A and B are shown apart, each in its own frame.
Chain A
Amino acid sequence: MAESFITFKNVSKTYQMGEVTIKAADSVDFEIHEGELALIVGSSGAGKTTVLNILGGMDSADGDGGEVWVDGKEITRLSNRKLTEYRRNQVGFVFQFYNLIPNLTALENLEIATQLSEKPLAPTDVLAQVGLADRTENFPAQLSGGEQQRVSIARALAKNPRLLLCDEPTGALDYATGKQILTMLQNTCRQTGKTIIIITHNAAIEPIADRVIRMRSGKVHQVSLNPKPKDVADIEW
């Protein structure tokens, strides 16, 4: 059996909101293998984004002995600086609302990411890959949502990370565009062998993933493996 690339062991995350304590993640345990397209599925507030944030080094888990391992490193123990390095070189993020920098062109939005990383891909190539070869000089405001999300994916990819984290990447997109994006992600996973984790509340797209982690109320409810994931084009929702 392949070595697990990502391991969550007993990871919890509690938020203090005034007098209310919210347990966003509650003893989360799961594994993801390298090269897998993993889907974390759950309804709003199930804790899936929390898990993603912790995995992405954007948030820290409770210090109660929970462990997060990525590629043999325990990221919960990394210093702030190491965590930034980790974000810089290992992880690519795709957000629901793209979070492109509005004042930078598509190409520049990639460049701002690539100038940091160790072994980036050529931004124009990546943009071409996502089908935006002719929109490189456009500002985000001049792009449609789907195009923006593609720029966002391209930005994540251009850093050439081993791990791609996508938070509801289709959440703000219409069906067709969403499908397009998912296809792109699936293809990327298959063609480049990158590990991709997608967060979604849409259980209908579960079949496209290698691994599906279902969450409910901050806990991992169920993990299932698809030996034969379907193509995005083949599913409907």
Chain B
Amino acid sequence: MTKALFRDTLRAIRKTLSRFISIVIIVALGVGFLAGLKAVSPNMKAAADSFYSDLKLCDLVLTSTVGFDAQDRDALLAIEGVEAATPSRFVDGLVYNENGQLAQSLSGTAYVLRVIGYDFAQAAGSGTARRNQLELVNGRFPKNPGECVVSVYESEINLQDENRDRYKIGNKISVKGDHEDLLDSIQTTEYTVVGTVYTPEFVSMELGSSQAGGGELCGYIYVADSEFLMDYYTKMYIGIKGSDTAAAYSEAYDDVIRAWKDALVEEFSAPIVAARAERMGKTIAEQAVAERKKIGQFLTQAATLLPILGEEDQTAMRKLMEQLHQMQSSVKEGAEAEKDVANQILDGKKELELARQMFPFAEKAGAEAPKAYERQKAEMEKEIADSEAKLADGRKEYDRQSAEYNRQLGEYNKKYAEYQKAREIVVANADAEGEYIAGKNKLEQAEASYNIARSAVEVGRSALSTARKALDSENSARIEHAMGILALYFPLEPEDTTLEGLRKQIAEAEIELNNQEDALKDAEKQIAEGKKQMAAAEPLMKQLEEFRKGEKLLAESYTKLADAQRRLADAQGQLDTGTLELEQGKRLLTSELAKAQQQIADGDAFLHIMQEQIPNSERRVKQGENAIEALPNAMWNIATRDEFAGYTNYGDTAGNMEAFALVFPVLFFLIAALVSLTTMTRMVEDERLQLGVLKAAGYSSGAIAFKYFFYAATTAVLGSAIGLALGFTLIPQAIFKAYSILYLIPEMTPTFYLDTAAISLGAAVLSTVGAVIFAVFRSLQLRPAQLMRPKAPKAGKRILLERVTPLWRGLSFDGKVTVRNLMRNKKRFIMTFAGIMACTALLLTGFGIGNSIGTMLDHQFGSESVMRFDGQALLSSPITAADTETMKVFEQPGRIAEALPIFMKNMYASAPLHGFARALEVVMAVPRDADIAAEFVSLADDKSGEELGFRDGGIYINGKTAELMNLKVGQRITIESGATKAEIPVAGIVRNYVYHYVYMTPATYEAYFNQGATQFNAVLLKLDDSLNVTAGSKAAVNAAKEAKAQLSRDLTDEAEVVALVYNSAIIDKVGAMLDIMEKVILAVFVMAAGALAFVVLYNLNNINIYERVRELATIKVLGFHDFEASMYIYRENIILTVLGVGAGLLLGIPIHAFVIRTAEIESMMFVRTLAPFNYVFAAIITAVFAVGINALMHRRIKAISMVESLKSVE
């Protein structure tokens, strides 16, 4: 190649930079998508492989019918080629929420938690030997008993908020055995989360199955191995030497493992198992002896029953105890026992039989003791009642006396108060009384003397008067007499009896009398005075008198009071005595009853021991027996990594991506190749003149072609480089990120895949360079002169349509022109059409996937969907169809519209006759009422959507199950769980999207499973409309939500209901995840479609305009406005767009179907149909892309210079 040619080439690139760039871009897009999508699967697998290698995921999982111990491990390690053997064990239990409710899984079954033992001490330093290691992420490993670590997946990635909460560091998780006591196996059932870890065992949502609960393992924790009480391990994780050189999921790996899988069991297991069996025999003997010793303890405990039993029973019981005692003498120890295992077990069984025979007595005692207790209690209670009655009388008397006393006391108090008042006066006038009495006496004396004196005076006067009269009459006798009288009163001188003397004496008497009268008058005055004084003192004296009286009364009152008090004391005394007696009675009752209760308790305890221990012992003895029997047939089972559901899941997903990588990038690449081919062809044809010149100048074809080769190669290499760089990084990263919400694999390092890169680059170079070489050599075959003449424009030609005259006539002039133009360049036509079609198809696929994922839940849950009920209540104990009592709980007008008992159980389905031998986990549902079942669960035909009705005689399986098993109506499906197994003809294939559900009528179930009356363990609920408000005002929605929460609380408070789960809870949680996925997918598809549409349309339009620039210039000269000129081209584009969109909508349907089937995981069926709006959106967005690109083109058409374009070729 000459310098000139090389310069020309570079110049060509510079001059046609936009074309160059557009080819680079389309090559980059094609290569990027091809390489990127192809790299997803290997990248994902590599990420997983590196994760598995880091954490030493085991290659094989051994289980043994006799368990494993340390010697087994050592024996395994001794096998050449076995690099590691890590024993492991676990127990499964059920989790209860803080409120005591049984926690539920997403599917509504009991939440089964696996407690896995892990030797954290060994993990610290023991390097390569160990398999299935844990890597600490946050917190720490358990140090103390009762601590656990959880998977990062459960605590951070899991989509269920409440589960994430459950597994937060610091939380306590408590687990209870499902029909077994976990404390038999582990030290404690409550664990505190102290750290989060990565584990290679569980990398996805699906955890596998369990024997407990509904059969679905829902969570797991790792606890110290030392928490386990059992003396054996259940699993052995095997690492095969050299397996780490082959990548996980690769054929090479499978090859390594396949060989070992068989060898380990067939070649190596026998001696190890035999050795284990021997050790086991020893252990079993020990256990048997231990159990027999335990039975020996019954003897002592059975003795407690004797007092309760009647004589006859006592005798019988004693006899049994004696027998048991005798049996015990055959208990052997150590080596002797070992030799005699079988007999030990046999004797143990006999003893247990004896113990069993004690059972009726224990029951009798258990039944009798409470009766005796009641009797005794009643008697004693009567006594107490009598005492109490007496006591009540005493209390009444006492109350009466007390009232009387109180009354007396009141009286006394009143009197006393009065007395006190009087006394105060009395004290204040203490002297007055004496004075008064003295005064009174004096007065009386004075009065008396006054009266004497008076009468004396009066007598004197009358005597005097008589004397006078006598004197006057001179009747001496009388005078004498009078005088004598007078003398009685007056000191007269009797000697003088003369008249004179008498007279004189009379006068003197008279004077004396007057004097005396005067004295009398004084005395009178004094007496009056005294009387007045006396009268004044009278009230006081009266008061005094009253006081005296009061004093007396007070004394009387006091006497009465004292009397009352005495009587009260008497009553009190009696009362006290009564109370004492009663208390004594009561104490007696309590102690007697306690004694009786102790007896009952003893009886109960024994009964309990019998109920609990005997079956336990029997179980253990049976186990021992079984083990002894099993020992000769002891064997190993081996499984590959498929044992880990996450491993398989992830592999499937990565595999699905491979299928993805087949369709999309190829589609993309094909279009990219075509577009670059067109563009390059165009370029060569543009330069045919130059080709001619060069050829004429004597350049060899090779040299001339090199320019184009170089141009094409540059675009191909550059585009590929960009495409590979972006494709290998962005696409796997984006998809890995999207999947990181589903898988635990922590990180992915985008890798450069040489093979993919080579293929992509090769294809890119081949298509561009090949195209250009093809075009160049085609041109170079012509003679230079021919080349130097402009290539005649493609001649106009009649098209087929014109022959259809009526149709052709019907077209407008523009229409005809457009149609003929379209037909003129079929290559461009097809490619534009294909580009638009692909764009629409991609968009439709994108929207469709969005629809499929986004509406899956809407199709699964809701009044018009598959699951039409609103919630599901787990019953604490199953009910039969006849049990209407339990169903009353669900009669809640205004809250629950309808309730339907249903039996639900996780089962395993298979169809070996149809090539589906493995077990598919399905939920078997048997609703009580066939007729109303459709209102709760739709049984719509998977294909037609018609309701099938629900009839006896067959099983209704979901579409996905039918598809996986390739089953048709009428064929038989095997449904099994543990010992129950049935082959049932398929009655219908019904629509379902999430999980697998199979339905049967109770009659069918009972007929095929021989289970007796169906035991319904759950109740489906349809809520009242008022609780189902999800749209409308926020307040209304919240009110409905609150009402639902309240209903949940109310129902779970009922003893009959263990838990209640609303479908809305599932919708909320899963919906959020699906929403994100939907958006990511949509964004990816819209961007891809947009890029595709842009590059294809832009390029082709560019070429179109370039090729027809003369034509466009001509019509512009003819007077076409810019818009009219653009429309001249647009009309073609519009038709192509319409056609392309139409075809794309059709093409999108199978692509969507393919993608959906590819992306579907086993436990889900996406909605496989497209919604009308998907078509509308896909069409509209394509149209928008087309319009946008055409708008860009308008500027180019506008810019066409008429002069330049029409310049004559001179």
Contacts and interface: CB of A to CB of B under 8 A. Distances in A.
Given A58-B1203, A105-B796, A116 B1119 contact: yes
Nearest to B1115: A112
B797 A168 contact: no
A96 B1209 CA distance: 10
B372 interface: no
Given A56-B1117, A58-B1117, A141 B813 contact: no
Contacts of B1120: 84, 88, 116
Contact of B796 (A56, A95, A111, A139): A139
B1197 to A, nearest CB: 13
Contacts of B1203: 53, 58-59
A100 B1117 CA distance: 12
Contacts of A141: 792, 795-796
Contacts of B824: 103
B1199 interface: no
Interface residues of B, number: 31
Contact of A108 (B794, B816, B1118, B1202): B816
A101 B794 contact: no
Given A108-B816, A112-B817, A171-B1208, A99 B1114 contact: yes
A97 interface: yes
Contacts of B817: 103-104, 108, 112
A85 B1114 contact: no
A87 B1210 CA distance: 25
A102 interface: yes
A159 B1120 CA distance: 13
A103 B1118 CA distance: 16
B635 to A, nearest CB: 83
A115 interface: yes
A117 interface: yes
A159 B1209 CA distance: 26
B11 to A, nearest CB: 14
Contact of B793 (A84, A96, A102, A116): A102
A113 B794 CA distance: 21
B1111 interface: yes
Contact of A111 (B792, B813, B1116): B813
Q: Considering residues A85, A87, A99, which has the most beta carbons from chain B within 10 angstroms of its beta carbon?
A: A99
Nearest to A81: B1121
Contacts of B1208: 95-97, 167-168, 171
Interface residues of A, number: 40
B744 to A, nearest CB: 63
B318 interface: no
Nearest to A116: B1119
Contacts of B1114: 99-101
A85 B787 CA distance: 39
B1206 interface: yes
A68 to B, nearest CB: 15
Given A112-B1115, A116-B1118, A139 B816 contact: no
A59 B821 CA distance: 28
A84 B1117 CA distance: 8
B1110 A103 contact: no
A129 to B, nearest CB: 19
A44 B1202 CA distance: 19
B820 interface: yes
Contacts of B1209: 97
A140 interface: yes
A89 interface: yes
A44 B1210 contact: yes
Contacts of A89: 1119
A8 interface: no
Chain B contact surface mostly: helix
A95 B1117 CA distance: 11
B797 A85 contact: no
A3 to B, nearest CB: 25
Contacts of A91: 1119
Q: Considering residues A44, A81, A111, A113, which has the most beta carbons from chain B within 10 angstroms of its beta carbon?
A: A113
A110 to B, nearest CB: 10
Interface string B466-489: 000000000000000000000000
A149 to B, nearest CB: 13
A116 B817 CA distance: 15
Interface string B818-847: 001100100000000000000000000000
A102 B794 CA distance: 7
Interface in B762-795: 792-795
A87 B797 contact: no
A87 B816 CA distance: 24
A104 B820 contact: yes
Interface in B419-478: none
A171 B1209 CA distance: 11
Nearest to B817: A104
Contacts of B1116: 84, 87
A88 B795 contact: no
Interface in B1096-1151: 1110-1111, 1113-1122, 1124
A103 B820 contact: yes
A5 to B, nearest CB: 20
B819 to A, nearest CB: 10
Contacts of B797: 103, 139
Interface in A108-131: 108, 111-113, 115-117
Interface string A137-171: 00111100000000000010001000000011001
A198 B1153 CA distance: 67
Contacts of B1117: 56, 58, 87, 93, 99
A187 to B, nearest CB: 23
A88 B1118 contact: yes
B1115 A104 contact: no
Nearest to A93: B1117
A144 to B, nearest CB: 14
Contacts of A159: 1118-1119
A220 to B, nearest CB: 20
A204 to B, nearest CB: 20
Contacts of A108: 813, 816-817
Contacts of A112: 813, 817, 1115, 1118
Given A58-B1117, A87-B1118, A102 B813 contact: no
Contacts of B1118: 87-88, 93, 112-113, 116, 155, 159
Contacts of A81: 1121
Contacts of B1202: 53, 58-59
A174 to B, nearest CB: 17
A78 B625 CA distance: 113
Contacts of A168: 1208
A84 B793 CA distance: 26
B172 to A, nearest CB: 82
B1206 A102 contact: no
Q: Considering residues B821, B1111, B1118, B1208, which has the most beta carbons from chain A within 10 angstroms of its beta carbon?
A: B1118
A93 B1115 CA distance: 11
B1119 A101 contact: no
B1121 A84 contact: yes
Contacts of A56: 1117
A105 B796 CA distance: 8
Interface in B675-723: none
19 contacts: A53-B1203, A58-B1206, A80-B1122, A84-B1116, A85-B1119, A87-B1117, A87-B1119, A93-B1118, A95-B1206, A96-B1208, A99-B1110, A99-B1113, A101-B796, A103-B797, A108-B817, A111-B813, A142-B795, A159-B1118, A171-B1208
Given A102-B794, A103-B817, A104-B820, 8 more contacts: A80-B1122, A84-B1120, A87-B1117, A88-B1120, A103-B797, A104-B796, A116-B1124, A167-B1208
Q: 6 shortest A-B CB distances, which residue pairs?
A: A88-B1119, A141-B795, A139-B796, A103-B796, A87-B1119, A58-B1202
Interface of A: 44, 53, 56, 58-59, 80-81, 84-85, 87-89, 91, 93, 95-97, 99-105, 108, 111-113, 115-117, 139-142, 155, 159, 167-168, 171
